[in-house]
Homo-oligomer: A and B are copies of this chain.
């Protein structure tokens, strides 16, 4: 029996985690949390019987309380509610699958409560890796990556010593605009950017894939997860998304993890680690029908959001928070059709240029920097891109 809490249960990772739980009666759901999708949350409650559920927005929490008043269940809301779900006594593992910096505090509190973390929230390590990683050590919990690339690296590292690692080769599909030049990205529409060639994911992460900012966030995340200098983490464009990432060792040996793109595989790997179990309904890689896989260098001039991630990562401190917050704000506006595609990396660049870096930011510093970044980029977009709120 393994008890897990899922934060972000109505999103892409959350629902796929529940798909796996459905097939494994030995897993018990103790807590669920979501932003506002109470219709789906109600269904999940009736199927998985959690003890406590958080709806981030209190007005939606009230509506959910009404809907499930026939059940004995605690419905909470807000950041305190989220933290209650993250620290609920029976859970042994917390799946952090919410999008955005909202994930940091619940993750910290879950670690302090001794829970293992299945990490699907990028922002946590990108902005607060220097706070999280020492806590993971101090409280002796497992931090298991759920992202397919980081799971691949984690799998390729099994049985190997950290000192043997030479490079991490983080693969990238290159997104829907791979091969295009900067001038060709000027008039990209939201509909085009939402067409990812290999993975079906949430809207935010799909846009991040199109800009390759997603790969930039992954590079910064890998730096913390695998304790390697950022310049030893190299991006390899591999359009078929069959190799999910690789580790190159000091003897020249490269260990790669491969598979049909299916997020349930890394999710299940984290849930059952170190055991591997059958992936029900999973497809098998067939190399004879696959025929070939290809590799390219990333075009960092066109996808300069990726180059900026290396810059932010090298600078460290509060700079990755600026990178992330500026991107988060810009992607949301792009999805509202209020700014263009290339405005996204441009806004990140300007926000980083404007920021006075804090060496070792506290959690409060991080949250302040996030808000200051939002203020700056809003003003910048109003003046430069005629953005209107």
Chain B residues near A161 (CB, 8 Å)?
Answer: 274-276
Q: Does A265 contact B (CB under 8 A)?
A: yes
Quick one: CB contact mask for A30-72 with B, threshold 8 Å, 1 for yes?
0000000000000000000000000000000000000000000
Copies of this chain present: 2
Q: Determine if A291 and B285 form an interchain contact, defined as CB atoms under 8 angstroms apart.
A: no
Q: Which of B158, B251, B284 contacts A269 (CB 8 A)?
A: B251
Q: Does A92 contact B (CB under 8 A)?
A: no
Q: Which of B164, B254, B285, B297 contacts A254 (CB 8 A)?
A: B285
Q: Does A336 contact B (CB under 8 A)?
A: no
Q: Determine if B254 and A258 form an interchain contact, defined as CB atoms under 8 angstroms apart.
A: yes
Q: Determine if B269 and A253 form an interchain contact, defined as CB atoms under 8 angstroms apart.
A: yes
Considering the chains assembled together, what is the distance between the CA atoms of A159 and B255 in angstroms? 13
Stretch from A209-217, A242-250, A345-353 forming part of the interface with B: A242-250
Considering the chains assembled together, what is the distance between the CA atoms of A291 and B296 in angstroms? 6
Q: Does A268 contact B (CB under 8 A)?
A: yes
Chain B residues near A287 (CB, 8 Å)?
Answer: 169, 236, 238, 295
Given contacts A252-B283, A256-B256, 9 further A-B contacts (CB under 8 A): A156-B255, A161-B276, A251-B268, A252-B259, A254-B257, A254-B258, A255-B258, A287-B295, A292-B293
Interface residues of A (CB under 8 A from B): 155-156, 158-161, 164, 169, 236, 238, 243, 246, 248-260, 262, 265, 268-269, 274-279, 282-285, 287-288, 290-297
